[in-house]
Amino acid sequence: MTNINEIARHFTQELDRWYSQPEQFDNELDRQIHVWYSNPPTVWPKRPYFSPSSSKACPRELYLKAKRAKKDVNPQPPYQGRWKEIGTAIGDVIQRTVLAMERNLPGCPFRFERNDDGTPVFEDFAKKNHEIYHNGQRFYLYGTCDGIMQYVNEETGEIIRVGLEIKSKQSTPAKTSLYSFKEAEEGHRKQCVAYSIMYNVDYYIILYVNAAKKAWVMSDEDYEATPDIRAFGFEITDADRQELLDSFAEIAKCIANDTPPALDLSRWTFNGFKTACAQSLTDDEFSILKAQVKRMQRSGLPQWKKDQFVDAFMFIEEARQNE
């Protein structure tokens, strides 16, 4: 029986084993990566589609995106731009490391699955449209993954396909500490469920890499308590897939019938269609949101969550006035 938690633990051990060695240079690997990316395949989305990264997004946002509403284009603080670029770079680093470990780390049981042309199954080389028929609705899952790996069981020789999702943390070392971080985030797990459908994989590892370190020099005890990488493994079940597809199918039905689903303020922060959402609300929907925000203020939620709801509502109110 496959123990995905043990595989995830083994993955962090192999990463630590690699990074504990003197730096290794592999010019041929770097040359090959640049050759791959010099002419990546182009895959355009088929409509209607949902991206795995939007598995936990607001239904109203996804509806308006499918209806080709105008996406928000707002200046961002420079630190947010750097934050996003560093997050992307962390993913690139880990992908190269897995490729390098396969070539240069004796006994490493992890490697990326390969396409017929020899490219690794990740990023542009794994991008696809996966057609879905579910609950009477047809739609596509469109996008790509951080990687599909093969894990070789050293005892049996069995090859187990394992998806890899790489996430970054950058604010404080505590974000990946054993005390503060108990399990993978729900939205990240949902994203992996979508990938499991697209790539026919049952096991997934979410690797969190923290760019904020506690110190340059740490004791073994400190590193054990506050590591800068955490890997969570989990098996994806048919029930998980059913739940996600039910959600997407319901939104697809709304798209087909021109009946916008309700706006979810709890998913407002990363909503890329805030203005379109605000201006699409009916007066009745606006009144319902107003009452919801008032209830939130009387609830036992943390103050920062209450503030998020108030900020969202104020944005909506202003956007409707400027319509």
Average pLDDT over residues 158-176: 98
| Average pLDDT value over all residues in the chain | 97
**Residue 150, domain member (yes or no):** yes
- Indicate the pLDDT class of residue 74, thresholds 50, 70 and 90: confident
**Residue 204, domain member (yes or no):** yes
181-223 tens-digit pLDDT? 999 999 999 999 999 999 999 999 999 999 999 999 999 999 9
Cβ atoms 153, 147 nearer than 8 A: no
**Residue 16, domain member (yes or no):** yes
**Residue 174, domain member (yes or no):** yes
Average pLDDT over residues 240-255: 98
**In the predicted structure, residue 323 carries a pLDDT above the cut 80:** no
Q: Please report which residue ranges of 59-212 form alpha helices under DSSP H.
A: 59-66, 78-104, 186-199
Region of 131 on the Ramachandran plot (φ > 0 left; ψ -120 to 50 alpha; else beta) = beta
d(CA 36, CA 95): 13
**Residue 54, domain member (yes or no):** yes
The residue segments making up the domain with residue 163 are 4-259
Number of domains into which the chain is organized: 1
**In the predicted structure, residue 83 carries a pLDDT above the cut 90:** yes
Residue type, position 3, single letter? N
**Residue 158, domain member (yes or no):** yes
**Residue 283, domain member (yes or no):** no
**In the predicted structure, residue 14 carries a pLDDT above the cut 80:** yes
Q: How would you classify the pairing of strands 137-143 and 49-50?
A: parallel
Cβ atoms 272, 259 nearer than 8 A: no
39-62 tens-digit pLDDT? 999 999 999 999 999 999 999 999
CATH of the domain at 12: 3.90.320
**Residue 36, domain member (yes or no):** yes
Task: Quote the strand ranges of 68-182, DSSP E.
Answer: 110-112, 128-134, 137-143, 148-152, 159-169
